[in-house]
Amino acid sequence: MKLPIEHLKKSPDAFRFVIERGWWSERFADVEDSGARLAEEPTMEIRARTAGESVHLEGEFRGMLDAECGRCTRRYRHALRESFRLVLAPLGDGETPPDPEGLQDLERSGMCLGKDLETGWYRGPEIELDAFFVEIISLEIPMQPLCRDECPGLCPVCGSNRTENNCNCDDIKPSSPFAALAALKEKTEGSS
């Protein structure tokens, strides 16, 4: 997914990239290994323009995951949506990025990001956006997918899904490793 700089200098433009399943699988194999699958091909919409020598990108990532809830194990659809803004300044031939990895990124993709995802540098006639897309998408993928924030999960006694039916099991209170200390404290307070 390349962005031609010379084209942008002539006129601002809008781009729409459809992220193919193969591209996704190569970069997000760990997400697929966790049981989440793409429900539809995600898109990345970008409005790009130049201001002087700087390149300004604004856009939005949209997608849909078919995921398994981390509490009740029910499959559900998880909407992915992330807006972004990026300003890239040109990096001259004698200049180097502030970190060594940035130089490798610059040589590989024509751009490197700053400490945040809103600024960076570019060099050359075009910018390869793959690494930037991976960063944006990674921020939107949930660490622990939940079908809803208040999902009660599975019953620890009978294993039934509390989202679907309300069992009458008593909640088991886990024994605390500090219970013996609490008993000792009560005993010493009672004897004084």
Domain residue ranges of the chain, discontinuous segments joined by +: 2-140, 153-192
Summarize the confidence of residues 79-104 as an average pLDDT: 83
> Please, what's the b/e burial string for 115-125 (b: 16 or more CB within 10 A of its CB; e: otherwise)?
eeeeebbbbee
CA angle 61, 67, 68 (to 5 degrees): 155
On the 0-12 / 13-18 / 19+ scale of CB atoms within 10 A, 131 is: middle
pLDDT at 18 over 70: yes
Share of the chain above pLDDT 70, in %: 96
pLDDT at 93 over 70: no
What pLDDT does residue 174 have? 63
pLDDT at 100 over 80: no
pLDDT at 147 over 90: yes
d(CA 180, CA 121) in angstroms, rounded, equals: 59
Summarize the confidence of residues 77-85 as an average pLDDT: 93
pLDDT-derived band at 45 (thresholds 50, 70, 90) equals very high
Summarize the confidence of residues 81-86 as an average pLDDT: 93
Q: From its phi and psi, is residue 159 left (phi > 0), alpha (psi between -120 and 50) or beta?
A: left
- Tell me the average pLDDT of the chain: 86
